[in-house]
């Protein structure tokens, strides 16, 4: 019997364009069910795709604090989220939710 070799899937390796990154974040926000740490982890995936050192520098944060903030183990401050979004070249938008009568 032969063993099947598998490798760990890393979404950051597949986020190549700004459009892919924005769509990934949008999908994660929709699936998060309000879990801020889940969304922070998605931002971390995008930051790794662009290069953590570059994103940290552009956001005005240390690389270590950026890793911690976007690890998914904690909920970063809204200020940190806004800095990271800007450094990633992503915009935060609001959209009205459909109402149910």
Looking at the domain assignment, is residue 7 inside a domain?
no
pLDDT value for 60: 96
Q: What is the pLDDT of residue 100?
A: 79
Determine the pLDDT at residue 6.
86
Low-confidence ranges of the chain (pLDDT < 50): none
Q: Give the structural domain span for 50.
A: 16-88
Number of compact structural domains in the chain: 1
What sign for the dihedral angle of Cα 55, 89, 92, 72?
A: negative
pLDDT tens readout for residues 36-56: 999 999 999 999 999 999 999
The predicted structure's pLDDT at residue 78? 93
User: Is position 80 within any domain?
Assistant: yes
pLDDT of the residue at 19: 94
Query: Quick one: pLDDT at residue 52?
Result: 95
Confirm whether 10 is domain-assigned: no
Of 25, 19, 17, the residue nearest 44 (C-alpha): 25
How much of the chain is in helix, strand and coil states, percent to nearest 5? Answer: 60, 0, 40
Give domain status of residue 37, yes or no: yes
Residue 3 within a domain: no
CA–CA separation, 67 and 63 (whole Å): 6
Residue 74, pLDDT score:
87
């Amino acid at each position: 019997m032969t063993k099947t070799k598998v490798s760990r899937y890393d979404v950051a390796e597949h986020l190549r364009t700004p459009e892919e990154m924005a769509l990934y974040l949008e999908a994660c926000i929709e699936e998060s069910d309000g879990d801020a740490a889940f969304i922070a982890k998605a931002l971390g995936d995008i930051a790794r795709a662009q290069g953590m050192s570059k994103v940290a520098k552009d956001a005005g944060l240390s690389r270590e604090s950026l890793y911690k903030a976007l690890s998914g183990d904690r909920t970063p401050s809204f200020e940190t989220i806004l800095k990271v979004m800007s450094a990633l070249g992503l915009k935060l938008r609001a959209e009205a939710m459909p109402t149910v009568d």
